[in-house]
C-alpha cells in the first residue's frame, strides 16, 4: 500500500512538473435554473383564486435561467478567474460547481469536494466572536480538535483583539470592517482541494487587505485548483492564468488571462 | 494492489511525454471524468455514507442548536429566563381558560397537572413540526454556502425544542409536586416516553422539512393543522371519557387511540399522576409509542434523504 502511494505521488509530481494535465473539475453542458417566488402578478386574493380555478401557472413563480449550457475543464494547478458584469451568473456557476445548487441539466464532475470560501451564512450576530469562530469552524467541517488548535491563529489573524478584548463581545457590536475581518479569518482557516473565492479579497483596512491577500496566496498553493470571481481586473491578472468570461449565463470566452481580459475591457468600454 | 489507479497514472505519464497532443483530447466530458476518477458534484451519497456523514457532523449540530437557543433571547432583558417564563405563562393562560373560566375538569382528578403535562408534551411535537417546516426553506443561505448533510438542520432544530422541553419539564415537575403528587419510581417512565417522542419528532421534522422546502404554502397551513391535532389529542379533556360516553364510528375511535401525540401525552401522565391509572391508557400503549417512533423516525429520515441533492434549489 505504502509502495503504491509512493508511486502515485511520484507520478503526480512528475506529471505536474512536465505539464501533464490532470482535470479536477469538468463541467458538461451545465444549466442552472432558479425558481423565484413572489416575482410578479397582481397581489390580490381574487386574482390568485382565478388562477387556481383556470389552472394557470402562477406568475408568482418566475424562472431565472442563470447558467446556460456552460462546459469547461479545469486542471490541477490552475487558477481560473471568472469575469462578467453584475448578474451574469458567476456566483451561481461557482455554487453549481461546488454542488450547492442542483443543476437543471448537465453535470459537474469534481475531484474531491470543491468549497466556497466563506462562512458568513453560518455565523450569528448575536453570539460572541469566540463562539462564532467555533461554530463557523464546525460548519466548514473542521473537527473540534482542529478548531481548538487553530483558534488562536484565527483570532490573531483577524486582529480583533488588537484594540482590547473584543472576541468575547457579540458580533453585532463589531464595526462592519471588524466583522468582515473575523469572517475572512474563519473562512481562510481551512485548506481545500478545489477552492472558490467569490470577491472575498477586498475586506477590512489596508493592512488587513495585505494580510488576506497573502493568506489567499497560501491557500492557492495548498489547493489543487482555484476559482476567483472578481470585478477587479488587476487582482485577476495577478492571480489567474486563465479566465472564463460569462455574460447572461453563457460562457462567452475561455482562454488565457490577457486575451480574455483585453476582449472584456474592449466590450465593457474600459 | 489496485490495477485501476496504476493504469490511470500510466496514462498520465504518457501524456507527460507528449504534452502537445494529449490522449484526452477526443474524450467526452463524462469519459474524461471517469478516467480521472472524478465524481459528480453535489450527488446524493448512499444511505450508509449519509448516516456516517451526519454522525460526523454531530458537534456542528449540537453547536448550531445551542447557538440558536442563545441567540433567541439575547435581545430580551430577562434573557434566558424566558425559557422558563414562556412555558409557565402558557400553563397559566390555559389554566385560566380551561380550568377556571370554562371549568372543564370533567371529573379529572388533579386537572392542573393533567392539563400542564398535556400542553408541554404537545408543544414539544408542535414546535418541532413548525421548526421542521422552516428548517430548509428558512436557511437557504446556509445551504447554498456550505457543505453538510442537510438533515443536520431539522435535527438541530428538534434538538433546540428538546432543550426547551427539558426546561419545561423541570417547571412541570415543580408544578406537579405542588399539586400534591408524590415522587415515585414510576416517574422514571418519563425518560423512555420522552426518548420515543423525541425520535418521533425528529422524523416528523425531517419529513416536514422536505415538504416545506417544496411547498411554500405549508407555513400558512400548518397552524390550522396543528390546532386540529391539538384538539384531537386530549390535551384539555380525557379521550377515554369521550370514547366511553359517545358511540363514535370505529375509524374515529381507532384514530383517537392511535394518535401519537395523545399516546406520548398519556404516557407521561401515567408516569407522573398517581390517579391516572393503567385503565386510562389506550391498549398496547408502549407498542404504539415505539411503533410511531420507528415509523416516523425511519420513514422521515429516508424521505428527507431521497431529496438531499435538491435542497439548494429552494
Contact B117, B187 (CB under 8 A): no
Q: Across the strands, what pairs with A74? A: A25
Q: Across the strands, what pairs with B206? A: none
| A194-198 vs A115-116, strand pairing mode | parallel
> How far A236 CA lies from chain B's nearest CA (Å)?
23
**Residue B274: enclosing H or E segment and its boundaries?**
none
B60 and B34 in one domain? no
For residue A193, give the 3-state DSSP assignment.
Answer: coil
Sort out which chain A residues have CB atoms less than 8 A from B59's CB and list them. Answer: 138, 143-144
Q: At what angle do helices B152-178 and B190-214 cross, to 10 degrees?
A: 140
B276 and B181 in one domain? yes
Contact A121 B39 (CB under 8 A): no
> How far A205 CA lies from chain B's nearest CA (Å)?
25
CA-derived radius of gyration, chain B = 26
Q: Across the strands, what pairs with A242? A: A80, A256
B119 and B4 in one domain? no
Contact A76, A48 (CB under 8 A): no
> What's the pLDDT band for A5 if we cut at 50, 70, 90?
very low
C-alpha cell recorded at residue A146? 482542529
B231 and B163 in one domain? yes
Contact B174, B266 (CB under 8 A): no
Contacts of A124 (CB under 8 A, 6+ apart): A132, A135, A171, B67, B68, B71
Q: Across the strands, what pairs with A75? A: A23
B71 and B30 in one domain? no
B139 and B108 in one domain? yes
- The shortest CB-CB distance from A102 to any of B28, B141, B312 is to B312
Backbone dihedral angles phi then psi of residue B307, each to the nearest 5 degrees: -110, 15
C-alpha cell recorded at residue A109? 464532475
Contact A90, A268 (CB under 8 A): no
B128 and B20 in one domain? no
B63 and B34 in one domain? no
Across A13-22, A237-246, B1-10, B137-146, least confident range: B1-10
> How far B143 CA lies from chain A's nearest CA (Å)?
7
Tens of pLDDT along chain B (314 residues) come to 333 433 334 343 333 333 445 667 677 887 887 787 788 877 788 899 999 999 999 999 999 998 888 888 777 777 778 878 888 888 888 878 877 777 666 677 788 888 888 989 999 999 999 999 999 988 888 888 888 899 999 999 999 999 888 988 888 888 888 888 888 888 899 999 999 999 999 999 999 999 998 887 888 899 999 999 998 888 888 888 778 888 888 888 888 888 999 999 999 999 988 888 787 788 788 999 999 999 999 999 999 999 988 888 76
Ramachandran quadrant class, A123 (left: phi over 0; alpha: psi -120 to 50; beta: rest): beta
Domains: count for chain B: 2
- Looking at chain A, the whole-number percentage of residues with pLDDT higher than 70 is 84
Sort out which chain A residues have CB atoms less than 8 A from B19's CB and list them. Answer: 18-21
**CA contacts within 13 A on the Cβ side of B177:** 9
Which is higher by pLDDT, A68 or B217? A68
Contact A138 B9 (CB under 8 A): no
| A225-229 vs A194-198, strand pairing mode | parallel
C-alpha cell recorded at residue A40? 410578479
Number of separate helices (H) and strands (E) present in chain B: 14, 1
What is the predicted pLDDT for the residue at A17? 39
User: Which chain A residue's Cα is nearest to B54?
Assistant: A141
B207 and B115 in one domain? yes
- The shortest CB-CB distance from B12 to any of A20, A73, A144 is to A20
| A23-37 vs A61-75, strand pairing mode | antiparallel
User: Is a pLDDT exceeding 70 seen at residue A2?
Assistant: no
How does pLDDT run across A123-169, given as a tens digit for each residue?
888 888 999 999 999 988 888 999 999 999 999 988 888 878 888 88
> How far B177 CA lies from chain A's nearest CA (Å)?
36
User: Is a pLDDT exceeding 80 seen at residue A109?
Assistant: yes
What is the predicted pLDDT for the residue at B207? 94
B192 and B112 in one domain? yes
Nearest alpha-carbon partner for B300 in B166, B161, B203: B203
Backbone dihedral angles phi then psi of residue B219, each to the nearest 5 degrees: -60, -40
Nearest alpha-carbon partner for A73 in A225, A231, A248, A258: A225
Count CB neighbours of B197 within 10 A. 27
Q: How far is CA A102 from the centre of its chain?
A: 16
B119 and B263 in one domain? yes
Highest mean pLDDT among A55-69, A203-217, A245-259: A245-259
Sort out which chain B residues have CB atoms less than 8 A from A111's CB and list them. Answer: 36-39
C-alpha cell recorded at residue B55? 454522525
What is the predicted pLDDT for the residue at A265? 87
Contact B300, B203 (CB under 8 A): yes
**CA contacts within 13 A on the Cβ side of A167:** 22
B126 and B3 in one domain? no
User: Which chain B residue's Cα is nearest to A28?
Assistant: B29
C-alpha cell recorded at residue B209? 422539512
What is the predicted pLDDT for the residue at A42? 60
Distances in Å between the alpha carbon of A13 and those of A261, B118, B136, B143? 31, 67, 43, 36
> What's the pLDDT band for A12 if we cut at 50, 70, 90?
very low
Contact A25, A110 (CB under 8 A): yes
What is the predicted pLDDT for the residue at A3? 42
Domains in chain A with CATH codes: 11-116+229-268 (3.40.50.300)
**CA contacts within 13 A on the Cβ side of A69:** 2
Contact A100 B37 (CB under 8 A): no
What is the predicted pLDDT for the residue at B62? 93
- As a whole number of angstroms, the longest Cα–Cα distance in chain A is 73
Q: CA A197, CA A211: separation in Å to the nearest integer?
A: 16
Supply the range of the domain harboring residue B220.
44-313
Amino acid at each position: 500500500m505504502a509502495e503504491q502511494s509512493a508511486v502515485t505521488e511520484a507520478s503526480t509530481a512528475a506529471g505536474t512538473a512536465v505539464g501533464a494535465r490532470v482535470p479536477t473539475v469538468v463541467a458538461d453542458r451545465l444549466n442552472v435554473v432558479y425558481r423565484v417566488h413572489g416575482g410578479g402578478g397582481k397581489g390580490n386574493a381574487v386574482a390568485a383564486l382565478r388562477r387556481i380555478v383556470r389552472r394557470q401557472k402562477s406568475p408568482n413563480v418566475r424562472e431565472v435561467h442563470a447558467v446556460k449550457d456552460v462546459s469547461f475543464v479545469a486542471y490541477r494547478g490552475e487558477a481560473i478567474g471568472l469575469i462578467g458584469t453584475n448578474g451574469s451568473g458567476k456566483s451561481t456557476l461557482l455554487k453549481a460547481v461546488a454542488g450547492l445548487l442542483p443543476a437543471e441539466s448537465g453535470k459537474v464532475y469534481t475531484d474531491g469536494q470543491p468549497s466556497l470560501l466563506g462562512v458568513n451564512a453560518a455565523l450569528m450576530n448575536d453570539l460572541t466572536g469566540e463562539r462564532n469562530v467555533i461554530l463557523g469552524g464546525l460548519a466548514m467541517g473542521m473537527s473540534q480538535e482542529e478548531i481548538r488548535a487553530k483558534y488562536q491563529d484565527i483570532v490573531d489573524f483577524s486582529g480583533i483583539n488588537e484594540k482590547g478584548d473584543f472576541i468575547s463581545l457579540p458580533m453585532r457590536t463589531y464595526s462592519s470592517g471588524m466583522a468582515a475581518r473575523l469572517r475572512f479569518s474563519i473562512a481562510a482557516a481551512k485548506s481545500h482541494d478545489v477552492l472558490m473565492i467569490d470577491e472575498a479579497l477586498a475586506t477590512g483596512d489596508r493592512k488587513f487587505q495585505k494580510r488576506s491577500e497573502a493568506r489567499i496566496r497560501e491557500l492557492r498553493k495548498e489547493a489543487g485548483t482555484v476559482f476567483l470571481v472578481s470585478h477587479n481586473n488587476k487582482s485577476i491578472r495577478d492571480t489567474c492564468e486563465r479566465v472564463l468570461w460569462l455574460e447572461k449565463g453563457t460562457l462567452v470566452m475561455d482562454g488565457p488571462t490577457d486575451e480574455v481580459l483585453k476582449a472584456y475591457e474592449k466590450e465593457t468600454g474600459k | 494492489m489496485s490495477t485501476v489507479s496504476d493504469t490511470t497514472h500510466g496514462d498520465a505519464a504518457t501524456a507527460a511525454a507528449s504534452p502537445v497532443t494529449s490522449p484526452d483530447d477526443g474524450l467526452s466530458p463524462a469519459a474524461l471524468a471517469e478516467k480521472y476518477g472524478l465524481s459528480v458534484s453535489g450527488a446524493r451519497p448512499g444511505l450508509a455514507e449519509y448516516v456516517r456523514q451526519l454522525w460526523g457532523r454531530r458537534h456542528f449540530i449540537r453547536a448550531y442548536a445551542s447557538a440558536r437557543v442563545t441567540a433567541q433571547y439575547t435581545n430580551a432583558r430577562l434573557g434566558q429566563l424566558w425559557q422558563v417564563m414562556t412555558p409557565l405563562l402558557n400553563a397559566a393562560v390555559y389554566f385560566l381558560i380551561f380550568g377556571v373560566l370554562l371549568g372543564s375538569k370533567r371529573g379529572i382528578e388533579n386537572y392542573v397537572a393533567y392539563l400542564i403535562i398535556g400542553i408541554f408534551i404537545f408543544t414539544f411535537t408542535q414546535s418541532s413540526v413548525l421548526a421542521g417546516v422552516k428548517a430548509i426553506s428558512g436557511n437557504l443561505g446556509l445551504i447554498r454556502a456550505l457543505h453538510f448533510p442537510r438533515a443536520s438542520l431539522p435535527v438541530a432544530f428538534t434538538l433546540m425544542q428538546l432543550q426547551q422541553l427539558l426546561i419545561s419539564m423541570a417547571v412541570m415537575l415543580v408544578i406537579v409536586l405542588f399539586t400534591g403528587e408524590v415522587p415515585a419510581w414510576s416517574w422514571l417512565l418519563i425518560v423512555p416516553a420522552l426518548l420515543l417522542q423525541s425520535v418521533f419528532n425528529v422524523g416528523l421534522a425531517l419529513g416536514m422539512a422536505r415538504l416545506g422546502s417544496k411547498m411554500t404554502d405549508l407555513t400558512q397551513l400548518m397552524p390550522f393543522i396543528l390546532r386540529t391535532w391539538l384538539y384531537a389529542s386530549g390535551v384539555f379533556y380525557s379521550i377515554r371519557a369521550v370514547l366511553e360516553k359517545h358511540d363514535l364510528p370505529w375509524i374515529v375511535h381507532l384514530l383517537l387511540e392511535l394518535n401519537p401525540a395523545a399516546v406520548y401525552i398519556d404516557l407521561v401522565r401515567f408516569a407522573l399522576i398517581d390517579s391516572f391509572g393503567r385503565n386510562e391508557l389506550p391498549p398496547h400503549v408502549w407498542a404504539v409509542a415505539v411503533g410511531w417512533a420507528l415509523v416516523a423516525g425511519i420513514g422521515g429520515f429516508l424521505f428527507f434523504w431521497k431529496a438531499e441533492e435538491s435542497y439548494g434549489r429552494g
